[in-house]
Amino acid sequence: MLSSQADARSSVSWFFTGMRGITSLPALILMTSFVGFSAFALESGITRSQAVFMTLAVWALPAKMILIGTMVGGAPIAASFLAVTLSSIRMMPMVASIMPDMKNEKSPTWLLLFLSHFVAITSWVFAIQHLNDVPRDKRVAYFAGFSITLTLINAVIVGVCYGIVAQFPPIVAGCLFMLTPVYFFASIWASARHSVVKLAFVIGVVMGPAMALIEPKFDIIYAGIGGGTVAYVIDRFFVRPRRAAPRAAGLEDGP
């Protein structure tokens, strides 16, 4: 009985230790970016309650940007759903990479599935940097403390700042508005681990505005699918062979 109580207190302690991670630089940048998101939601005609619900339900900031962008652009619900789904698929490798390090034989599946909702770029980077320093049986509590707290705080930030940003001077509101796309660009580029991701990013930046002029209602889908396909083809048939050639030459020159 005493042992189980000690384990419970220890897990709670690690939960609060994870909560303190919200003072880290990436978390602070994300929270500031959610101030910009509240300005973006206000300018786009999204209500306060809708913006808060998006923060809790969608969570990943780029996905919310895409959702609002398709809504404002007049895209059908199915197109918005597809665009957000394709954007969020990139989270699957992140979940797959940290869950084996997080779980233990006592971790319930439902809890891991619940915590997977909170996996986004900031929480994933935080987990990669810190989980190895946490006892395996306390990693779930540690990650939960950070990710859940960060999500709830950002929801509060959106709810509070939604009305405040409307009172800011236009230049200040404009700067806050730009925080969101700046964070979007920086986080995607910084989290890219393969050349094909950066290549797709560059192609998407070029194709996005072009597709917005050609077909505004489906610009994100066309730029995403088309840009990703072009990036894969270039990486598969041009970039990889060039990288493999020096290694092959080195093997041929060896003993």
- Return the half-sphere exposure (C-beta side, CA atoms, 13 A cut-off) of residue 217: 6
Average pLDDT value for residue range 144-152: 94
Pair 93, 121: CB distance under 8 Å: no
The confidence score (pLDDT) of residue 248 equals 53
CA angle 185, 187, 190 (to 5 degrees): 105
Residue 204: C-alpha distances to residues 9, 65, 75, 161, 223 (Å): 48, 15, 19, 31, 6
Torsion sign across C-alpha atoms 201, 68, 87, 79: negative
Question: Which tokens sit at 229?
Answer: 């396909």
Tell me, yes or no, if the pTM score tops 0.75. no
- Name the residue with higher pLDDT: 48 or 195: 48
- Name the residue with higher pLDDT: 210 or 215: 210
Average pLDDT value for residue range 50-58: 91
Average pLDDT value for residue range 54-82: 83
Flag whether pLDDT at 249 surpasses 50. Answer: yes
Q: How confident is the model at residue 253 (pLDDT cuts 50, 70, 90)?
A: low
Flag whether pLDDT at 37 surpasses 50. Answer: yes
